Structure 1
Amino acid sequence: MTTAMYVLLLVAVVLANSPFLSQKWFGIITLPRKHFGHHLVELAVGYALTGVLAYVFEAQAGPVHQKDWEFFVVTLALFVVFAFPAFVWRYFWHSRNHA
Protein backbone atom coordinates (compact mmCIF):
# COMPACT_ATOMS: atom_id res chain seq x y z
CA MET A 1 0.00 0.00 0.00
CA THR A 2 1.15 3.49 -0.75
CA THR A 3 1.28 6.44 1.61
CA ALA A 4 -1.77 7.96 -0.09
CA MET A 5 -3.81 4.85 0.76
CA TYR A 6 -2.81 5.02 4.42
CA VAL A 7 -3.66 8.71 4.55
CA LEU A 8 -7.02 8.08 2.89
CA LEU A 9 -7.90 5.29 5.33
CA LEU A 10 -6.91 7.44 8.30
CA VAL A 11 -8.96 10.38 7.02
CA ALA A 12 -11.95 8.09 6.40
CA VAL A 13 -11.82 6.67 9.93
CA VAL A 14 -11.50 10.13 11.50
CA LEU A 15 -14.30 11.66 9.40
CA ALA A 16 -16.58 8.67 9.99
CA ASN A 17 -16.18 8.84 13.77
CA SER A 18 -16.11 12.60 14.29
CA PRO A 19 -19.89 13.23 14.08
CA PHE A 20 -20.51 11.04 17.11
CA LEU A 21 -17.73 12.34 19.34
CA SER A 22 -18.82 15.94 19.85
CA GLN A 23 -21.94 17.95 20.67
CA LYS A 24 -20.78 20.57 18.19
CA TRP A 25 -22.17 20.49 14.67
CA PHE A 26 -19.22 20.07 12.27
CA GLY A 27 -17.01 20.79 15.28
CA ILE A 28 -17.94 24.48 15.15
CA ILE A 29 -21.55 25.24 16.16
CA THR A 30 -22.56 24.22 19.69
CA LEU A 31 -25.99 22.62 19.81
CA PRO A 32 -28.04 22.04 22.97
CA ARG A 33 -29.02 18.59 21.69
CA LYS A 34 -27.55 17.04 18.60
CA HIS A 35 -30.20 14.90 16.88
CA PHE A 36 -29.52 11.81 14.81
CA GLY A 37 -30.28 13.84 11.67
CA HIS A 38 -27.34 16.10 12.49
CA HIS A 39 -25.12 13.03 12.67
CA LEU A 40 -26.37 11.79 9.30
CA VAL A 41 -25.65 15.12 7.62
CA GLU A 42 -22.15 15.20 9.09
CA LEU A 43 -21.60 11.59 8.04
CA ALA A 44 -22.71 12.38 4.46
CA VAL A 45 -20.40 15.39 4.28
CA GLY A 46 -17.53 13.30 5.64
CA TYR A 47 -18.20 10.62 3.02
CA ALA A 48 -18.21 13.26 0.28
CA LEU A 49 -14.94 14.80 1.51
CA THR A 50 -13.35 11.36 1.65
CA GLY A 51 -14.52 10.71 -1.91
CA VAL A 52 -13.05 13.99 -3.14
CA LEU A 53 -9.73 13.19 -1.47
CA ALA A 54 -9.75 9.70 -3.02
CA TYR A 55 -10.44 11.23 -6.44
CA VAL A 56 -7.52 13.64 -6.04
CA PHE A 57 -5.17 10.83 -5.01
CA GLU A 58 -6.31 8.67 -7.93
CA ALA A 59 -5.88 11.55 -10.39
CA GLN A 60 -2.32 12.08 -9.16
CA ALA A 61 -1.49 8.40 -9.65
CA GLY A 62 -2.85 8.15 -13.19
CA PRO A 63 -6.07 8.18 -15.18
CA VAL A 64 -9.27 8.11 -13.12
CA HIS A 65 -11.37 5.04 -13.77
CA GLN A 66 -15.13 5.18 -14.23
CA LYS A 67 -17.12 4.05 -11.21
CA ASP A 68 -20.62 2.61 -11.26
CA TRP A 69 -23.22 2.70 -8.51
CA GLU A 70 -21.91 -0.53 -6.96
CA PHE A 71 -18.63 1.16 -6.07
CA PHE A 72 -20.41 3.93 -4.17
CA VAL A 73 -22.67 1.49 -2.30
CA VAL A 74 -19.69 -0.58 -1.16
CA THR A 75 -17.63 2.46 -0.12
CA LEU A 76 -20.61 3.93 1.76
CA ALA A 77 -21.06 0.64 3.61
CA LEU A 78 -17.36 0.65 4.49
CA PHE A 79 -17.62 4.26 5.70
CA VAL A 80 -20.55 3.33 7.96
CA VAL A 81 -18.57 0.39 9.34
CA PHE A 82 -15.72 2.79 10.13
CA ALA A 83 -18.23 4.91 12.11
CA PHE A 84 -19.41 2.00 14.25
CA PRO A 85 -17.05 2.45 17.26
CA ALA A 86 -18.04 6.08 17.87
CA PHE A 87 -21.72 5.28 17.21
CA VAL A 88 -21.65 2.58 19.90
CA TRP A 89 -19.87 4.91 22.31
CA ARG A 90 -22.36 7.72 21.69
CA TYR A 91 -25.63 5.80 21.81
CA PHE A 92 -24.92 2.78 23.99
CA TRP A 93 -22.12 3.58 26.46
CA HIS A 94 -22.10 7.38 26.75
CA SER A 95 -25.82 7.81 27.50
CA ARG A 96 -25.77 4.96 30.02
CA ASN A 97 -22.91 6.51 32.00
CA HIS A 98 -24.38 10.03 31.94
CA ALA A 99 -28.04 9.31 32.67
Structure 2
Amino acid sequence: MSQSASVWLVLLVALLAANLPFVNERLLAVLPLPGGAKRKNLAVRLAELVLLYFAVGGIGLLFEQRLGQIAPQGWEFYAVTAALFLVLAFPGFTWRYLLKHRKG
Protein backbone atom coordinates (compact mmCIF):
# COMPACT_ATOMS: atom_id res chain seq x y z
CA MET A 1 0.00 0.00 0.00
CA SER A 2 1.36 3.41 -0.91
CA GLN A 3 2.01 6.12 1.64
CA SER A 4 -0.79 8.29 0.26
CA ALA A 5 -3.31 5.45 0.46
CA SER A 6 -2.22 4.72 4.04
CA VAL A 7 -2.78 8.33 5.07
CA TRP A 8 -6.28 8.40 3.53
CA LEU A 9 -7.15 5.07 5.10
CA VAL A 10 -6.08 6.25 8.57
CA LEU A 11 -8.12 9.44 8.13
CA LEU A 12 -11.18 7.44 7.08
CA VAL A 13 -10.78 5.06 10.04
CA ALA A 14 -10.35 8.09 12.34
CA LEU A 15 -13.55 9.68 11.01
CA LEU A 16 -15.53 6.49 11.57
CA ALA A 17 -14.00 5.81 14.99
CA ALA A 18 -14.52 9.39 16.20
CA ASN A 19 -18.25 9.20 15.46
CA LEU A 20 -18.79 5.63 16.65
CA PRO A 21 -19.48 6.49 20.33
CA PHE A 22 -22.24 8.90 19.34
CA VAL A 23 -24.20 6.75 16.88
CA ASN A 24 -24.89 3.67 19.02
CA GLU A 25 -25.84 2.69 22.55
CA ARG A 26 -23.42 -0.23 22.98
CA LEU A 27 -19.94 -0.11 24.49
CA LEU A 28 -17.48 0.13 21.60
CA ALA A 29 -20.41 -0.80 19.32
CA VAL A 30 -20.15 -4.43 20.51
CA LEU A 31 -20.88 -4.95 24.19
CA PRO A 32 -24.26 -4.33 25.82
CA LEU A 33 -24.36 -1.75 28.60
CA PRO A 34 -23.89 -3.20 32.09
CA GLY A 35 -26.82 -3.24 34.48
CA GLY A 36 -29.42 -3.17 31.72
CA ALA A 37 -29.01 0.57 31.12
CA LYS A 38 -30.76 1.83 28.00
CA ARG A 39 -28.53 4.83 27.17
CA LYS A 40 -24.87 5.74 27.53
CA ASN A 41 -24.06 8.98 29.30
CA LEU A 42 -21.58 11.55 28.01
CA ALA A 43 -18.76 10.34 30.28
CA VAL A 44 -18.93 6.83 28.79
CA ARG A 45 -18.96 8.28 25.27
CA LEU A 46 -15.89 10.43 26.03
CA ALA A 47 -14.06 7.43 27.53
CA GLU A 48 -14.82 5.49 24.35
CA LEU A 49 -13.56 8.44 22.32
CA VAL A 50 -10.21 8.39 24.16
CA LEU A 51 -9.88 4.63 23.75
CA LEU A 52 -10.67 4.85 20.04
CA TYR A 53 -8.15 7.71 19.65
CA PHE A 54 -5.41 5.39 20.89
CA ALA A 55 -6.68 2.53 18.70
CA VAL A 56 -6.54 4.70 15.58
CA GLY A 57 -3.10 5.92 16.64
CA GLY A 58 -1.98 2.31 16.86
CA ILE A 59 -3.28 1.63 13.36
CA GLY A 60 -1.40 4.68 12.10
CA LEU A 61 1.73 3.48 13.88
CA LEU A 62 1.44 0.06 12.21
CA PHE A 63 1.13 1.67 8.77
CA GLU A 64 4.14 3.89 9.47
CA GLN A 65 6.16 0.90 10.63
CA ARG A 66 5.31 -1.04 7.46
CA LEU A 67 6.39 1.89 5.26
CA GLY A 68 9.73 2.46 6.98
CA GLN A 69 11.24 3.77 10.17
CA ILE A 70 8.93 5.29 12.76
CA ALA A 71 9.58 9.01 13.20
CA PRO A 72 9.92 10.24 16.80
CA GLN A 73 7.04 12.49 17.89
CA GLY A 74 6.85 15.16 20.55
CA TRP A 75 3.89 16.27 22.62
CA GLU A 76 2.86 18.71 19.88
CA PHE A 77 2.05 15.83 17.52
CA TYR A 78 -0.27 14.21 20.06
CA ALA A 79 -1.95 17.52 20.91
CA VAL A 80 -2.68 18.20 17.23
CA THR A 81 -3.91 14.66 16.50
CA ALA A 82 -6.16 14.70 19.58
CA ALA A 83 -7.62 18.04 18.46
CA LEU A 84 -8.14 16.64 14.95
CA PHE A 85 -9.86 13.58 16.40
CA LEU A 86 -12.23 15.84 18.38
CA VAL A 87 -12.99 17.84 15.23
CA LEU A 88 -13.74 14.60 13.37
CA ALA A 89 -16.14 13.63 16.19
CA PHE A 90 -18.17 16.83 15.81
CA PRO A 91 -20.76 15.44 13.34
CA GLY A 92 -21.63 12.56 15.68
CA PHE A 93 -21.76 14.84 18.72
CA THR A 94 -24.00 17.26 16.83
CA TRP A 95 -26.32 14.48 15.73
CA ARG A 96 -26.56 13.02 19.25
CA TYR A 97 -26.81 16.14 21.42
CA LEU A 98 -27.67 19.19 19.33
CA LEU A 99 -30.34 17.93 16.89
CA LYS A 100 -33.88 17.23 17.97
CA HIS A 101 -34.97 13.64 17.43
CA ARG A 102 -38.59 12.67 17.03
CA LYS A 103 -39.83 10.08 19.49
CA GLY A 104 -42.42 7.61 18.41
RMSD over aligned Cα atoms: 1.3
Q: Secondary structure at the match of 1:33?
A: coil
Q: 1:70 to 1:12 in 2, by over 3 A?
A: same
Alignment of 1:1-99 (within 5 A): 2-31=4-33, 32-93=38-99, 96-98=100-102
Q: CA deviation at 1:61?
A: 1.1
Unaligned runs of 5+ in 2: none
Instruction: Report the Cα distance in structure 2 between the residues aligned to 1:59 and 1:51, rounded to whole angstroms.
Output: 12
TM-score (norm 2): 0.87
Once residues 62 and 30 of structure 1 are traced to their aligned partners in structure 2, the CA distance between those partners, rounded to angstroms, is: 39
Q: In 2, Cα distance between the equivalents of 1:97 and 1:7?
A: 32
* Structure 1 unaligned regions, length at least 5: none
* Amino acid in structure 2 at the alignment position of 1:88: T
- Deviation of the 1:43 alpha carbon: 0.4
Aligned residues: 97
Q: What residue identity is the alignment partner of 2:13? A: V
TM-score (ref. length: structure 1): 0.91
Percent identity between matched residues is 36
Q: How big is each residue's C-alpha offset from its partner over 1:59-90, in whole Å with a ceiling of 9 and x where there is no partner?
A: 11111111111100000000000000010000
TM-superposed CA distance for 1:36, in Å, is 0.6
Work out the CA distance in 2 between the residues paired with 1:69 and 1:6: 23
